Amino acid sequence: MTGLPGPADMSHAMLIALLMHHGGSMGLPAAAFETDALGDGHGTHHAVQLAPLDDGTVRLSVVTRPPSDNAEIEVRDL
């Protein structure tokens, strides 16, 4: 993965990448935006993990947010 956006733009970039990969739109149940699904109504209890896979794809996963208020991108080896 090269040319990743900064932390402030990462959520937007991931949303656009996901939508474009699925033809530009996806149907979601309205419950996907409820507090129980997002953590606090804004998703602040969740972080996103991008993991490069051996086949050239990237796995996008929701994970527990680290105990920090700082926006950052952390690269980890799997």
Kindly report, residue by residue over 15-70, the tens digit of the pLDDT. Answer: 888 889 999 999 988 887 776 666 665 556 667 777 888 998 888 887 777 776 66
The C-alpha atoms of residue 74 and residue 18 are separated, in whole angstroms, by 20
The more confident residue out of 25 and 1 is 25
Report yes or no on whether pTM surpasses 0.75. Answer: no
Instruction: State the pLDDT at residue 47.
Output: 74
The C-alpha atoms of residue 49 and residue 27 are separated, in whole angstroms, by 22
Between the two ends of the chain, the Cα-to-Cα distance in Å is 14
The more confident residue out of 63 and 2 is 63
The more confident residue out of 74 and 56 is 56
Instruction: State the pLDDT at residue 59.
Output: 85
In Å, what is the CA distance from 71 to each residue of 22, 26, 43, 53, 74? 27, 27, 13, 24, 10
The C-alpha atoms of residue 71 and residue 74 are separated, in whole angstroms, by 10
Instruction: State the pLDDT at residue 36.
Output: 67
